[in-house]
Chains A and B, each alone.
Chain A
Amino acid sequence: MGDSAGTAVSLVMSMALLAWAAAALDAGLGRAGRRGRRAGRCRVRDAVAETVAAAAGEVARLLVQGRRRTLASDVLLVRAGVVALPLAALLAAVVLPVGERPVLDTGVGIVWFNAMEVCVWGALWLVGWGVNSVNPLIGGYRFLVQGLSYELPHMFALITVALGAGSLRFGDVVAAQRGLWFAVWMPVAFVVYLISALAMAFWGPMGEPVGRNVAGGVPGELSGPDRLVFTAGRYALLVVVAAAAVPLFLGGGAGPLLPGWAWTAIKTAAVLGVLVLVKHRVPAVRMDRFTQFAWVVLIPLTLVQTLVVGIVVLP
């Protein structure tokens, strides 16, 4: 019991640390980008350092800021949505192995991860609808379309992993990759997972639910602690979708010299860094086009991937 409590504490701590790092890198890249690309890497480093300090100030400001209320908003639904976002991220994280074992070692971990991650659809729609304002409403509905687009290829990618490992338990999936990482022999599933990771966390090119062309979208009317919890939840979600790629495709904590938890952290940070970089390098994706691409191209591709994996594991 004491051991699992320790695991839970380290899970929450590492999630918070990685979320902070992702936010700092994101804002640092944004600042460096505004100052011009010619400046090079040292400018990014300065900008990240500035951002770490600025983020602390922003947290303090949001904590004491008064709440701005819209007319006839549904406070109950907004609060439920705001709280559901970090909660869904946390509940999705409890089945991911931190080092040796996850906090909740269940035999249906992959399905649980998927179930918690679709709760984000509810969180965003509730906030977008509840504040009774047009831009958040558009953002909320955008995310539902996005969810329906990424979810089917995403599920097939997860099913492929489960098929390759012969189990829905994250621990078994990691154990099945002792010889060869799934990222190597299931490249299509890995790429589809990364695309859907962006979509799940409404991040970068898939960030239209909170896009600038709808004035910030879903959290547009949130202020004070509500905005803080929503923003923290979004970064936590980004960390969780990046962290899940490690046991699913990158061999979990396996690696030379260092202990398992260190490799898990290094790989998670690497995936997270890639996701943050993608945000600053790739333009926004139009969701109606992505829906067609996802259903007509990605689903058949993932089905073929599943078939290939199925043939390989058949005997």
Chain B
Amino acid sequence: MSGAFWALAVLAVASGVAVFVVDSMARATFALLVSLLAVGGTLLLIDLHYVGVLVILMMVMEMLVMVVFMIMYMMNPGGLMPMTMVHDNRTAVLIAGGVFVLLAAGVFVTPWPPARGRPPADPTHALGLAIMEGKMLVMIVIGVAILATMISAVVLATHRGRYDR
């Protein structure tokens, strides 16, 4: 368990670093995907099966849409010329280091409350109740409304081509 956690943690950080090291947008995108999948795997380790698998599902879909835009908009999409993902290195390193120290200090300084209760038998069911209990109807209506808005926005925004009908 602990070994699997450390393997996933190292994989997540290493592929996160790789995003800024590789010189191809496609590789950077998939390095980021590997990092996010390792995070999803960590959630599986603590028995949050639904959340873990959902993270894997959503991240794969999201990064596959993202890769289109990353390649479309970024410089040197093919990775055929030397390219760097970082700019203004010194400031970036200072800010990133500062934020890391702040967050890491927060982890150790915060008085974490002791665990209350026990993990439920079915965490998926408990999660659903925690999010939606009592507001089920509202959540479902909002969900459908958001979906309808997205689809109508895309349909309205689509530019009809010359050969369309």
Known: A107-B124, A125-B67. A114 touches B79 (CB 8 A): no
B60 an interface residue at 8 Å Cβ cutoff?
A: yes
Asked whether A288 lies within 8 Å of B80 as measured between CB atoms, the reply is no
Taking CB atoms and an 8 Å cut-off, the chain A residues in 193-232 that contact chain B are: none
Residues of B within 8 A of A126 (CB): 26, 30
Interface with A: B48-56, B83-91, B92-100, B112-120, which one?
Answer: B48-56
In the complex, which range does the number of interface residues on chain A fall in?
Answer: 20 to 34
Asked whether A299 lies within 8 Å of B60 as measured between CB atoms, the reply is no
B129 an interface residue at 8 Å Cβ cutoff?
A: no
Instruction: Encode contact with A along B55-95: 1 for CB under 8 Å, 0 otherwise.
Output: 01100110111011000000000111000000000000000
Taking CB atoms and an 8 Å cut-off, the chain A residues in 114-171 that contact chain B are: 114-115, 118-119, 121-122, 125-126, 129-130, 132, 141, 144, 147-148, 151-152, 168
Tell me which of A77, A106, A125, A299 contacts B27 (CB under 8 A): A77
Specify the main secondary structure of chain B where it touches its partner: helix
B42 an interface residue at 8 Å Cβ cutoff?
A: no
Interface with A: B5-13, B102-110, B147-155, which one?
Answer: B147-155
Asked whether A108 lies within 8 Å of B68 as measured between CB atoms, the reply is no
Taking CB atoms and an 8 Å cut-off, the chain A residues in 87-118 that contact chain B are: 106-108, 111-112, 114-115, 118
Tell me which of A147, A292, A299 contacts B64 (CB under 8 A): A147
Residues of B within 8 A of A112 (CB): 53
The residues of B with any CB-CB pair to A shorter than 8 Å are 24, 26-27, 30, 33, 49-50, 53-54, 56-57, 60-61, 63-65, 67-68, 78-80, 122, 124, 144, 147, 151, 154-155, 161, 164
Across the A-B interface, give the 9 residue pairs with the lowest CB-CB distance, nearest first. Answer: A115-B57, A121-B64, A111-B53, A115-B56, A108-B49, A108-B50, A118-B60, A112-B53, A295-B151
11 residue pairs A–B, Cβ–Cβ below 8 Å:
A74-B27, A77-B30, A80-B30, A107-B49, A108-B53, A115-B53, A118-B61, A118-B64, A122-B60, A122-B64, A292-B155
